[in-house]
Amino acid sequence: MITQLSDKTNIFYEIYGNKNNKTIIFLHGNMEDSSLFINQINFFKDNYQV
């Protein structure tokens, strides 16, 4: 999903898991992407919203 902030900055994010579960947020560094966390996402998505 892409969200535009009030200063016109675009932020891309993905959500996995059930929205009723506790949330875990993974933040990657500069020049990386969410594929860095694929193993963590797959591990946690059944019990958390990731």
Residue 25 lies in a domain: yes
Residue 22 lies in a domain: yes
Give residue 44's pLDDT: 97
Q: Alpha helix locations (H) across the chain?
A: 38-44
Give residue 4's pLDDT: 94
Residue 11 lies in a domain: no
39 and 10 Cβ atoms separated by less than 8 Å:
no
How far apart (Å, rounded) are the C-alpha atoms in residues 43 and 37?
A: 10
36 and 16 Cβ atoms separated by less than 8 Å:
no
How far apart (Å, rounded) are the C-alpha atoms in residues 14 and 50?
A: 8
Instruction: Give the model confidence (pLDDT) of 5-41 as tens digits.
Output: 999 999 889 999 999 999 999 998 888 888 999 999 9
34 and 42 Cβ atoms separated by less than 8 Å:
no
Residue 38 lies in a domain: yes
Range of the domain at 47: 16-50
Total domain count, the chain: 1
